[in-house]
Amino acid sequence: MPAHALDHVGIAVHSLDESLPLFESITGDKGYARERVESQGVEVVFLGRGDGRLELLAPTRDDSAVAKFLAKRGPGMHHLCYRVPDVQAELDRYRAEGARLIDEHPRPGASGHLVAFLHPKSTGGVLTELLQASDGH
Protein backbone atom coordinates (compact mmCIF):
# COMPACT_ATOMS: atom_id res chain seq x y z
CA MET A 1 0.00 0.00 0.00
CA PRO A 2 1.53 3.41 -0.93
CA ALA A 3 2.10 5.84 1.95
CA HIS A 4 -0.69 8.36 2.48
CA ALA A 5 0.41 11.92 1.71
CA LEU A 6 -0.30 14.65 4.23
CA ASP A 7 -2.83 16.85 2.41
CA HIS A 8 -3.06 19.60 5.00
CA VAL A 9 -2.70 20.63 8.62
CA GLY A 10 -5.84 22.22 10.07
CA ILE A 11 -5.27 25.27 12.28
CA ALA A 12 -8.14 26.61 14.38
CA VAL A 13 -8.37 30.42 14.50
CA HIS A 14 -10.97 32.85 15.83
CA SER A 15 -11.04 34.95 12.65
CA LEU A 16 -9.76 34.24 9.14
CA ASP A 17 -9.40 37.93 8.37
CA GLU A 18 -7.31 38.56 11.48
CA SER A 19 -5.14 35.42 11.13
CA LEU A 20 -4.50 35.41 7.37
CA PRO A 21 -1.71 38.03 7.33
CA LEU A 22 0.33 36.05 9.90
CA PHE A 23 -0.01 32.73 8.04
CA GLU A 24 0.56 34.40 4.66
CA SER A 25 3.82 35.70 6.10
CA ILE A 26 4.77 32.26 7.48
CA THR A 27 3.96 30.34 4.29
CA GLY A 28 4.90 33.03 1.76
CA ASP A 29 1.61 32.30 0.02
CA LYS A 30 -1.70 34.06 -0.43
CA GLY A 31 -4.80 32.43 1.03
CA TYR A 32 -6.93 30.65 -1.58
CA ALA A 33 -10.05 28.44 -1.89
CA ARG A 34 -11.81 30.33 0.90
CA GLU A 35 -15.16 28.65 1.53
CA ARG A 36 -17.88 28.22 4.14
CA VAL A 37 -18.59 24.57 4.96
CA GLU A 38 -21.99 25.03 6.60
CA SER A 39 -22.38 21.34 7.52
CA GLN A 40 -19.30 21.70 9.76
CA GLY A 41 -19.98 25.23 10.97
CA VAL A 42 -16.65 26.51 9.64
CA GLU A 43 -15.15 28.86 7.15
CA VAL A 44 -11.83 27.66 5.73
CA VAL A 45 -8.99 29.05 3.67
CA PHE A 46 -5.88 27.26 2.37
CA LEU A 47 -2.24 28.38 2.16
CA GLY A 48 0.83 26.68 0.71
CA ARG A 49 1.29 24.37 -2.24
CA GLY A 50 1.78 20.63 -2.62
CA ASP A 51 1.69 18.22 0.28
CA GLY A 52 1.33 19.66 3.76
CA ARG A 53 -0.71 22.78 3.04
CA LEU A 54 -2.33 24.73 5.85
CA GLU A 55 -6.10 25.00 6.27
CA LEU A 56 -7.20 27.81 8.58
CA LEU A 57 -10.57 27.07 10.19
CA ALA A 58 -12.78 29.66 11.86
CA PRO A 59 -16.16 28.86 13.39
CA THR A 60 -19.35 30.21 11.82
CA ARG A 61 -21.54 29.00 14.72
CA ASP A 62 -21.10 28.83 18.48
CA ASP A 63 -22.06 25.13 18.57
CA SER A 64 -19.56 23.97 15.93
CA ALA A 65 -16.68 21.57 16.67
CA VAL A 66 -14.12 24.33 16.01
CA ALA A 67 -15.91 26.82 18.31
CA LYS A 68 -15.82 24.20 21.08
CA PHE A 69 -12.13 23.51 20.41
CA LEU A 70 -11.26 27.23 20.54
CA ALA A 71 -13.19 27.71 23.78
CA LYS A 72 -11.37 24.77 25.40
CA ARG A 73 -7.86 25.04 23.96
CA GLY A 74 -7.55 28.35 22.14
CA PRO A 75 -6.10 28.74 18.63
CA GLY A 76 -3.66 26.16 17.31
CA MET A 77 -3.28 22.84 15.52
CA HIS A 78 -6.67 21.20 15.14
CA HIS A 79 -6.21 18.19 12.84
CA LEU A 80 -4.03 16.40 10.30
CA CYS A 81 -5.55 15.38 6.97
CA TYR A 82 -4.24 12.48 4.90
CA ARG A 83 -5.08 11.85 1.26
CA VAL A 84 -6.28 8.30 0.61
CA PRO A 85 -7.54 6.62 -2.56
CA ASP A 86 -10.79 5.35 -1.00
CA VAL A 87 -12.13 6.90 2.24
CA GLN A 88 -14.86 4.26 2.72
CA ALA A 89 -12.30 1.44 2.43
CA GLU A 90 -10.09 3.18 5.02
CA LEU A 91 -13.06 3.67 7.38
CA ASP A 92 -13.90 -0.04 7.02
CA ARG A 93 -10.28 -0.91 7.79
CA TYR A 94 -10.14 1.31 10.89
CA ARG A 95 -13.52 -0.01 12.11
CA ALA A 96 -12.31 -3.60 11.72
CA GLU A 97 -9.26 -2.68 13.81
CA GLY A 98 -11.57 -1.40 16.57
CA ALA A 99 -10.88 2.31 16.04
CA ARG A 100 -13.48 4.93 16.99
CA LEU A 101 -14.87 6.69 13.92
CA ILE A 102 -16.51 10.13 13.95
CA ASP A 103 -17.96 9.59 10.47
CA GLU A 104 -19.22 6.14 9.51
CA HIS A 105 -19.33 7.21 5.86
CA PRO A 106 -17.51 9.85 3.78
CA ARG A 107 -19.26 13.18 3.28
CA PRO A 108 -18.55 16.22 1.11
CA GLY A 109 -15.94 18.57 2.61
CA ALA A 110 -14.14 21.69 1.41
CA SER A 111 -13.46 21.92 -2.35
CA GLY A 112 -15.95 19.10 -2.97
CA HIS A 113 -13.62 16.34 -1.77
CA LEU A 114 -15.00 13.36 0.15
CA VAL A 115 -13.81 13.43 3.78
CA ALA A 116 -14.25 11.58 7.08
CA PHE A 117 -12.82 12.05 10.58
CA LEU A 118 -11.32 9.50 12.97
CA HIS A 119 -11.69 10.17 16.71
CA PRO A 120 -8.55 11.55 18.39
CA LYS A 121 -8.93 8.95 21.16
CA SER A 122 -8.09 6.28 18.52
CA THR A 123 -5.38 8.23 16.70
CA GLY A 124 -2.86 9.08 19.37
CA GLY A 125 -4.64 12.24 20.51
CA VAL A 126 -4.46 13.81 17.03
CA LEU A 127 -7.78 14.45 15.29
CA THR A 128 -7.31 12.83 11.87
CA GLU A 129 -9.19 13.55 8.64
CA LEU A 130 -9.14 11.28 5.58
CA LEU A 131 -9.64 12.92 2.19
CA GLN A 132 -10.43 11.36 -1.16
CA ALA A 133 -9.70 13.91 -3.85
CA SER A 134 -12.61 14.57 -6.20
CA ASP A 135 -10.23 14.31 -9.17
CA GLY A 136 -8.96 10.93 -7.91
CA HIS A 137 -5.47 12.22 -6.93
From the CB of 1, what's the least distance to ligand CMX, in Å? 24
Nearest to ligand CMX of 30, 72 (CB atom): 72
Q: Which residues bind ligand CMX (CB under 6 A)?
A: 10, 37, 40, 42, 44, 57, 65-66, 68-69, 72, 78-79, 102, 109-110, 117, 119-120, 125, 127
Edge-first strand order for the sheet with 32-37 is 32-37, 42-47, 53-59, 6-12, 76-83, 128-132, 114-118, 107-108
From the CB of 63, what's the least distance to ligand CMX, in Å? 10
For residue 24, the SS3 value is: helix
Using Cβ positions, the residue closest to ligand CMX within the complex turns out to be 65
